[in-house]
């Protein structure tokens, strides 16, 4: 599905930015790069900055005009840094990603269009785009590096795509859930609090005749910590060992089990 | 508020990435950069890639250890490319931004920590971070350029910050709303449809005895287009001129008014 998205770079000056854009695309699962009249390509600098995304550079499509780059696209989204004379449908990067997803889910092709490093897209080029996209930069320093802009839009597309697929946006573990990820249950936590309280009494830290708010404060602390079963085993182990000390049992070295 | 966020780069190899990170930060309104044991800094390559974000490079803090870089922070979020042995609270970039906002809104300080270009953060460094952040890259090509990673997290922080401020994530226009932004009302659209239909009859395109679905199709088209008042003026102007032609009125050149 993501292969229906093409990234179009118009009249890029610096080949390093072409390489950086290719790397950003590949990181985010995009693969199709179209260059409109690049000033210096192919170039060893592009290859260096691509840092392994050489397959994208190898299959790049070089054309002479934006019109050629957009052939077959049902929607073109052009990045724009400044307010234009003619108001145009304007999206932020997240809305841009939503729009991309809507189209590629219908098997339509989509173009993300990026302009020149210093001058952006011309008004004529922008008017060939159905939507304009603005990355919400600080107005006092608003011009992003070209590869950085490709990174932001590609990232938002990937986030939207993962969500549309029902895939997690975080790494999923393949292994079964370990003790370190299972949360303790409320009853296990109560057993711990009982164990903790009796131990604190035994070591003379908690006076049962005048307990004040000590246990409440400890409950508040552990309650909000989201303790795992493994961590609970550790805490209970500490209490058990403390109690042994109180009872004067001989200390014996135990195998490392945490 | 954003000044409470520091970006920490650990043991960076390439000064260009330091410059690229500074530019990405400044684009997104962040200003505080801390370098832990950089391999080559200051450097002309960093300055070149910063592309105007030289104030950030000029006020950079260089320290020897991650521990020093985190002094005063209430929360540190460390980027992590791979699954670690010890499970740790893991956030995606959007959750990372939410966490940052929660802390800076309470005037706490926050660190976003980025590791080495090839090796990332060590396990020991990651364990100094309260949360790990993973940018959801393609598992087949997962390693982002360092400055690109700074760009993605800084962008998400800015989006969250703008939303928290109730500020638009798109450029807002200062000018009063023009005719080109005001949508036509339903009654204006009906007047247009009437005008359109009579014109189509007059030019012989629409047969009133056998209208078929022509007007329905035109209503569907214009209805979904979100026509502005200015555009409506243009369409009505076209119809009026067409009717003059039908009536055989002499064509006179009019002033450009669209």
Per-residue pLDDT 10s for chain A (258 aa) are 999 999 999 999 999 999 999 999 999 999 999 999 999 999 999 999 999 999 999 999 999 999 999 998 888 999 988 666 667 788 999 999 999 999 999 888 999 999 999 999 998 899 888 889 999 999 999 999 999 999 999 999 999 999 999 888 876 544 455 776 677 777 888 899 999 999 999 888 889 998 888 888 888 778 777 788 888 888 998 899 888 888 887 665 544 444
B chain contacts of residue A87, beta-carbon cutoff 8 Å: 173, 178, 180-181
Contact (Cβ atoms closer than 8 angstroms) between residue A17 and residue A145? yes
Verify that B150 and B194 share a domain, yes or no: no
**Angstrom distance (rounded) from CA A154 to CA B115:** 22
Q: CB–CB of B141 and A52 under 8 A?
A: yes
Contact (Cβ atoms closer than 8 angstroms) between residue A13 and residue A39? yes
Does A23 contact B at CB distance below 8 Å?
A: yes
- In this structure, of A49-53, B65-69, B170-174, the range with the lowest mean pLDDT score is B170-174
Verify that A27 and A147 share a domain, yes or no: yes
Residue A212 lies in a domain: yes
Shortest CA distance to B60 belongs to which of B77, B42, B40, B39? B42
| C-alpha to C-alpha distances, B177 to A87, A216, A240, B172, B174, nearest whole angstrom | 10, 58, 72, 11, 9
Does B4 contact A at CB distance below 8 Å?
A: no
pLDDT given for residue A171 in this prediction: 66
Encoded tokens for A104: 């590629």
Residue B258 lies in a domain: no
**Angstrom distance (rounded) from CA A99 to CA A19:** 26
B chain contacts of residue A144, beta-carbon cutoff 8 Å: 23-24, 27, 151
CATH code, domain with A41: 3.40.1280.10
**Angstrom distance (rounded) from CA B103 to CA B91:** 15
Rg (CA), chain A: 29
Verify that B58 and B154 share a domain, yes or no: yes
Q: CB–CB of A144 and B94 under 8 A?
A: no
A chain contacts of residue B173, beta-carbon cutoff 8 Å: 83, 87
B chain contacts of residue A90, beta-carbon cutoff 8 Å: 170-171
Verify that B127 and B193 share a domain, yes or no: no
* pLDDT single digits (tens) A197-252: 999 998 888 899 988 888 888 887 787 777 888 888 889 988 998 888 888 876 65
**A-B Cβ pairs (cutoff 8 Å, strict):** 125
A chain contacts of residue B142, beta-carbon cutoff 8 Å: 27
**Angstrom distance (rounded) from CA A12 to CA A16:** 10
In Å, how far is B24's CA from the nearest CA of chain A? 7
Please count the structural domains in chain A: 2
Nearest CA in chain B to A147: B148
Verify that A12 and A130 share a domain, yes or no: yes
Q: Which domain holds residue B241?
A: 186-246
Q: Please list the alpha-helical segments (H only) found in chain A.
A: 15-27, 44-50, 54-58, 66-69, 93-105, 123-127, 146-164, 186-202, 214-223, 229-246
Verify that A207 and A99 share a domain, yes or no: no
Considering only the beta carbons, identify the residue of A90, A142, A148 that sits closest to B170: A90
pLDDT given for residue A63 in this prediction: 97
Residue B175 lies in a domain: no
CA B194 centroid distance within chain: 42
Angular region, A85: left φ>0, alpha ψ -120 to 50, beta rest: alpha
Torsion sign over Cα B194, B200, B206, B208: positive
Phi, psi (5° rounding) for residue B116? -65, 155
Q: Predicted ipTM?
A: 0.75
Residue B251 lies in a domain: no
Mean pLDDT of B199-203: 91
Q: Mark which residues 65-124 of B lie under 8 Å from A by CB.
A: 82-83, 86-87, 90-94
In Å, how far is B192's CA from the nearest CA of chain A? 22
Residue A77 lies in a domain: yes
Judged against a pLDDT cut of 70, whether residue B43 lies above it is answered with yes
Does B148 contact A at CB distance below 8 Å?
A: yes
A258 CB-near residues (< 8 Å, 6+ apart) = A230, A233, A234, A237
Verify that A95 and A198 share a domain, yes or no: no
B chain contacts of residue A131, beta-carbon cutoff 8 Å: none
0.90 cut: is pTM over it?
no
Verify that B23 and B63 share a domain, yes or no: yes
Verify that A160 and A191 share a domain, yes or no: no
Residue A68 DSSP class: H
CATH code, domain with A235: 1.10.8.590
Q: CB–CB of B141 and A27 under 8 A?
A: yes
Verify that B154 and B208 share a domain, yes or no: no
Task: Tell me the residue length of chain A.
Answer: 258
The DSSP secondary structure of chain B, one letter per residue, reads: -GGGEEEEEES-S-HHHHHHHHHHHHHTT--EEEEES-SS-S-HHHHHHHTTTHHHHHT-EEESSHHHHTTTEEEEEEE-SS--SS---EE-HHHHHHHHHHHHHTT-EEEEEE-BTTTB--HHHHHTSSEEE-----TTS----HHHHHHHHHHHHHHHHHHHTT--SSPPP-SPPPTTTSBPPHHHHHHHHHHHHHHHHHTTSS-TTS-TTHHHHHHHHHHTS--BHHHHHHHHHHHHHHHHHHTTPPP-------
pLDDT given for residue B258 in this prediction: 44
Q: CB–CB of B87 and A178 under 8 A?
A: yes
Mean pLDDT of B209-216: 86
Judged against a pLDDT cut of 70, whether residue B122 lies above it is answered with yes
Domain-ending residue, one of B98, B131, B164? B164
Residue A175 lies in a domain: no
**Angstrom distance (rounded) from CA A65 to CA A70:** 9
The half-sphere exposure of A28 on its side-chain side, counting CA atoms within 13 A, is 30
Shortest CA distance to B154 belongs to which of A101, A98, A144? A144
Verify that B159 and B190 share a domain, yes or no: no
Proportion of chain B above pLDDT 90, given as a percent: 58
Residue A176 lies in a domain: no
Q: CB–CB of A24 and B148 under 8 A?
A: yes
**Angstrom distance (rounded) from CA B133 to CA B112:** 9
Verify that A13 and A73 share a domain, yes or no: yes
Q: CB–CB of B147 and A142 under 8 A?
A: no
Domain-ending residue, one of B106, B133, B164? B164
Q: CB–CB of B171 and A27 under 8 A?
A: no
Mean pLDDT of B3-17: 97
**Angstrom distance (rounded) from CA B196 to CA B235:** 9
Quick one: pLDDT band at residue B168, thresholds 50, 70, 90?
Answer: confident
Residue A224 lies in a domain: yes
Q: CB–CB of B171 and A90 under 8 A?
A: yes
Q: CB–CB of A136 and B158 under 8 A?
A: yes
Q: CB–CB of A148 and B24 under 8 A?
A: yes
Q: Which residues of B12-43 are buried (b: 16+ CB within 10 A; e: fewer)?
A: bebbbbbbbbbbbbbbbbbbbbbbbbbeebeb
Q: CB–CB of B28 and A155 under 8 A?
A: no
């Amino acid at each position: 599905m993501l292969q229906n998205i093409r990234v179009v770079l118009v009249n890029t000056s610096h080949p390093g930015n072409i390489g950086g854009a290719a790397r950003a695309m590949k990181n985010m699962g995009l693969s199709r790069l179209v260059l409109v009249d690049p000033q210096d390509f192919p170039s060893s600098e592009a290859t260096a900055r691509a840092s392994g995304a050489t397959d994208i550079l190898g299959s790049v499509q070089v054309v002479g005009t934006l019109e050629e780059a957009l052939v077959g696209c049902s929607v073109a989204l052009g990045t724009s840094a400044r307010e234009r004379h003619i108001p145009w449908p304007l999206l932020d990067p997240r809305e841009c990603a939503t729009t991309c997803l809507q189209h590629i889910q219908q098997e339509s092709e989509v173009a993300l269009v990026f302009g020149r490093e210093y001058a952006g897209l011309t008004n004529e080029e922008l008017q060939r785009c159905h939507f304009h996209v603005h990355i919400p930069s600080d107005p006092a320093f608003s011009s992003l590096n070209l590869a950085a802009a490709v990174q932001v839009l590609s990232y938002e597309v990937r986030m939207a795509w993962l969500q549309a697929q029902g895939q997690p946006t975080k790494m999923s573990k393949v292994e079964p859930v370990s003790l370190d990820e299972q949360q303790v249950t409320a009853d296990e936590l109560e057993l711990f609090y009982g164990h903790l309280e009796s131990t604190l009494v035994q070591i003379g830290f908690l006076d049962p005749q005048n307990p004040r708010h000590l246990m409440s404060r400890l409950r508040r602390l552990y309650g909000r910590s989201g303790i795992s079963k493994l961590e609970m085993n550790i805490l209970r182990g500490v209490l058990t060992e403390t109690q042994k000390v109180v009872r004067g049992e001989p200390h014996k070295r135990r195998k490392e089990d945490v």
